[in-house]
Amino acid sequence: MSEIPNLWVLRCARKKDVAGVRRGVLAMAIIGAILFVPRAYEFAHLNVSWHDDAYGSVVWMLMILHTMHVVTDWADTCILGTWLFTHEVGDDQFADVEDNSNYWTFVVLVWLPLYALIYWAPRAL
């Protein structure tokens, strides 16, 4: 669901819509922060410890790796949003917003197979 506002921000950046980019980056920062709640719940309910076996280690490694992608993109979004609200917005900032949006799309697309691997594959076996 987070991809919908993300694509809207991308379109605003390509149209060089300053107000839309500011609102969109703020919305994405809020969405990113909200996503930490279910991620904490996921870690608390993985039902396998990282040191139990190879499966547990791989599951925890994948979850931590993806979480680090979310954290770094959220931090980048917050820093970018701060800049957008405190400085004049030019072509470089629109390009930064595009890069940030594309990275979020990467994070979402990476999560789809990881979700299937972590949550569906063990139940199918």
pLDDT, one tens digit per residue, over 59-101 is 999 999 999 999 999 999 999 999 999 999 999 999 999 999 9
DSSP assignment letter at 53: -
Q: Dig out the tokens for 9 from the structure.
A: 């921000």
CA 75 to chain centre: 10
pLDDT, one tens digit per residue, over 95-108 is 999 999 999 999 99
Q: Which pTM does this prediction carry? A: 0.88
Of 65, 5, 7, 14, the closest CA to residue 34 belongs to: 5
Which residues lie below 8 Å from residue 122, measured CB to CB, with a gap of 6+?
A: 55
Count of the separate structural domains present in the chain: 1
Domain containing residue 59:
3-124
DSSP assignment letter at 119: I
CATH of the domain at 70: 1.20.120.80
